[in-house]
Structure formats: C-alpha cells, structure tokens
Structure 1
C-alpha cells in the first residue's frame, strides 16, 4: 500500500507550457511535472528564486496525472513589445527586454494557446528521504500562500482542488478517486455539460508497472519529456521518462 495526495484541476482556461520558440506559445493537453511542482510551490509559499526550497520540493515528490478531458484548444493573439536584435546585447529575461531603450522597441504579433474546460486528476507521492510530508502539502493546497492558477495568471481555478489523502494498492486506485461533480447533480450531467470524451489518459513517472502494479505493463508507452525543473530562475528544464496509457472509458474510470 502507498499513501497518495490526490487533487483535481479544473478551470475555464488552462495553459500547460511546452518548449516555446519565437512568437508561438503552445500548450500540452495535460500538466507536466514542472506545472504540478509550480502549483505545489506556490501553495507552500516557495518563491521562484528560492533555489533551496525549489530543490527540496523537486527531491521530495513524484507525480502522476489522469486526463479526464483535454478540453478544447483556444488560440489567443497578442501584441508584444520586444527590443530589436543587437550584436552586443543579450536579453536573458523579459525584464531585460522591457528595460531596453524605447527607441529600439518593436511590436510583434504573438499567439498563446489555452485548453478550455479541461479536467485532470493529479496524484502526488513521496520519494525515499523526502523532506516534505503529504499532510503539509494537503494543508497548503487547502490554504495556499500564493494565488494558484493553471499555467498562466489568466487561468484561475474554476473549482476547489479538494485534496484528499488516499492509501491505495496501486496508482490507478488513487487516480480514480471520486470528487464532487462540477456541473449538475450527477456524473451524466457533468459529462454532457463538459463534453467529456469516452477515453482517459494516465501519465506517470517511476516505473512502467506502477499504474496497475504486479508487473502489468500492457499498453504502456514511454518517452523522454523535458519538464523536470533544473533552475526556476533561469527557466531551465531537463528530461525525465514519462509513462502513458490510453484507455476507453469503459476500461478506465
């Protein structure tokens, strides 16, 4: 048996950042490790420039996600001010760009992607030798130090996280935890109102058989995902192995 902290993510808008180059800011369909650690860090009050606190969080937890719905894709267009390229000048942060002389500032068109009405369940469990406790994480999610949002400040929570401690024999049992319905009085009304698909996606880290246990790796896919935080101040991320399984609703929950 393993202890898990399980909570729900829902918002009218969410944005799970991926590698972004140039004017396009895409979004994944579900939150990765960096997004979940960022949410937990904000709840705990760990600032982005607190290298010790960020490392403690990174070294303490593992994460998994059940995607009940990826939501629908929405693309928003923005105008952004950026300085003209100069051979002897390097802009390392957005603050550096905005501090450039006005005479060299140009306006460009950029796009940002969002997921509308997505619904996810997140499970967190502790690594060996963790410095944090699940009780502390649960308390922080119930009363966060900083405002929580799903990827961008324009994406506030649309429903309570409802964090709960669960002791389960496998990861699937924890991810299939029941939450109060968001829309209407029953799950059928919610499924229709949120246009929930007839399939689910499980994503986790650790071992391939962690979802069902007992060496069950049937239908499991894996790939390297570049969302393991290395340095929050410099926005540096490294690779990790992520396992996934796609299931139809009648097979999953």
Structure 2
C-alpha cells in the first residue's frame, strides 16, 4: 500500500487545454496533467515563474464521473498590423498607431459544462498539498480563470493499493452524494500514464516544459474502463 492524495474537481464550466491555434481553443473531456499541476501550484501559492519541480515529480490519475456537455463561446480579437505599429510598448499605443486599421478576427473557445472528476496524486509532500487545497493561497479554477470550482476539493490522504482503490474513498460534492440521491456515483473511465499492456492509448500535450512560453510536451495516456464507486459519506 502507498499514500494517495485524492480530491474532487467540479465546475459549472471547465476548459481543459488542447492543442490550440490562434482562432481555436479546444478542450479535452478531462483535466490534463498541466491543469492539475497548475491548480496544485495555485493552492500552494506558487507563481507561474516559481519552482514547480516538486509538483512536476508527482504522478497522477483522473477518474471521470461526468465529462459534462460541450459548450462553445465566440470571441472577437482585435489585432494591429505589424506595418502600423512594429514595436508598440502597450496595447493603447498600438491601437493609436493603427488609427482604425485594426484587424478583427472571430475566435472560438470550447468548454465543458457540469463536469465532475476525481484526482489521485502520489509522491512526496501529500499532506502539505492536502492542507493547501483545503486553504488555497490563490483561487482554484478548472482551466481558465472564468471557471472557478463549484465545490471545495475535499482533499484527503488515503492509504490504498492503487489509485482506483484510493479514489473510491474520495468525498464527492453534496449534490452527488449517495445519501441524497439514493445511488452511489460511479466513474467509468480512468486516465493515467500508459503502459504497453493498455489497449486504449492516446497522446496528449499536457506536460509543462516552459510555463512562461506555454510550451507543453506530449505523453501517452491510457483510457481504462473502470467502475470506481464512491459511497459519498465524508
């Protein structure tokens, strides 16, 4: 057996990064490694340029209780042609130099509405992370800052034989607990680092390499069919 930190992630809206171009920001159906490390860093009070080495060493698995419904939002982005302002010092200066010669582009932002996930983390410093998730330094959100969590993560450290076994002891948000609806909540999928034995594998780009430049490396993840049932009692 080993210790696991388990907690829930529930949000009315979540945006879980995908490979993105200028006009499209997609979303996975589960929170990737970079999103979870960013959330843990926010709880710990680590700034974007801070030391994430301890968090980067953690291993994790994500259980999908509800992947939510897809939702797309449309934004307009105003850009200034380089010929109008080659080296602007600020956005107002660039717009002033353009004098009405700006380019407007419609961009797309994808979200998941009503998602619920369980996260298991293992490695060093789990008790410290659990305390930080209980009293986070910065606000916690699922992907973008416009997507705050809908319930506290209810983090706790569990001794278990596997991530699946540990996740069965997590505490769900009040509206998904068995004692209210009469039936336990069950996760049907577990996402973790893939092994050669895994039948279903996908490649995702969610391993942070340069946080200031938003560079991410790929990894192979396994999509395992599971039945992780949580009774809901604290």
Per the TM superposition, whether the score is higher than 0.5 is: yes
Q: Are the aligned partners of 1:181 and 1:187 in contact in 2 as well (CA < 8 Å)?
A: no
SS of structure 1 residue aligned to 2:175: coil
Distance 1:187 1:77, change over 3 A: farther
- 36-45 or 179-188, which moves further after superposition? 179-188
Give the Å deviation of 1:83.
2.4
Tell me the equivalent position of 1:29. Answer: 29
Distance 1:87 1:106, change over 3 A: closer
**Quick one: distance in 2 between partners of 1:23 and 1:136?**
39
Find out whether 1:234 has 2:213 as its counterpart. yes
**Quick one: distance in 2 between partners of 1:19 and 1:228?**
12
Q: Are the aligned partners of 2:42 and 2:136 in contact in 1 as well (CA < 8 Å)?
A: yes
SS of structure 2 residue aligned to 1:158: coil
Tell me the equivalent position of 2:59. Answer: 62
Tell me the equivalent position of 1:115. Answer: 112
**Quick one: distance in 1 between partners of 2:45 and 2:187?**
36
Question: What is the aligned length?
Answer: 225
Find out whether 1:141 has 2:133 as its counterpart. yes
**Quick one: distance in 1 between partners of 2:219 and 2:125?**
23
Find out whether 1:202 has 2:181 as its counterpart. no
Provide the TM-score with structure 1 as the length reference. 0.79
**Quick one: distance in 2 between partners of 1:89 and 1:57?**
39
**Quick one: distance in 2 between partners of 1:236 and 1:180?**
33
Distance 1:174 1:22, change over 3 A: same
Q: Which runs of no fewer than 5 residues in structure 2 stay unpaired?
A: 230-234
SS of structure 2 residue aligned to 1:28: coil
Provide the TM-score with structure 2 as the length reference. 0.85
Find out whether 1:183 has 2:195 as its counterpart. no
- 4+ residue segments displaced more than 4 Å: 85-91
Tell me the equivalent position of 2:94. Answer: 101
Tell me the equivalent position of 2:232. Answer: none
Tell me the equivalent position of 1:129. Answer: none
Tell me the equivalent position of 2:158. Answer: 166
Q: Are the aligned partners of 1:125 and 1:134 in contact in 2 as well (CA < 8 Å)?
A: yes
Q: Which runs of no fewer than 5 residues in structure 1 stay unpaired?
A: 127-131, 210-216
Give the Å deviation of 1:151.
0.5
Tell me the equivalent position of 1:83. Answer: 80
Give the Å deviation of 1:84.
2.5
| Aligned Cα root-mean-square deviation (Å) | 2.9
Tell me the equivalent position of 1:214. Answer: none
